[in-house]
Amino acid sequence: MKLEGKKVLLTGASGGIGEELAQELAAQGAHLLLHGRRGPALDRLCKALPHPERHQVVIADLGVAHERAKLLQHPALEDGLDILINNAGCNQFAWLEDQSAEQVERQLLLNIEAPIQLTRALLPTMRKPGIIMNMGSSFGSIGYPGYSVYCASKFALRGFSEALGRELEGSGIKVLHFAPRATRTKLNSEAAYEMNAELGTQTDSPQEVAEEAVIALCNETRRSWLGWPEKLFVQLNALLPAIVDKALAKQLPVIERYARHLQARTAEPGVGAQPQPVLSRPIPTKKEL
Annotated catalytic residues are: 150
Q: For residues 222 and 234, what is the distance between their CA atoms, to the nearest angstrom?
A: 16
Cα 108 to Cα 189, 193, 209, 280, distances in angstroms: 19, 23, 23, 18
Q: For residues 27 and 135, what is the distance between their CA atoms, to the nearest angstrom?
A: 20
Per DSSP, what are the bridge partners of residue 32? 8
* 3, 26 contact by CB (below 8 A): no
Phi–psi pair at 261, nearest 5 degrees: 55, 35
Neighbours of 163 (CB within 10 A): 11
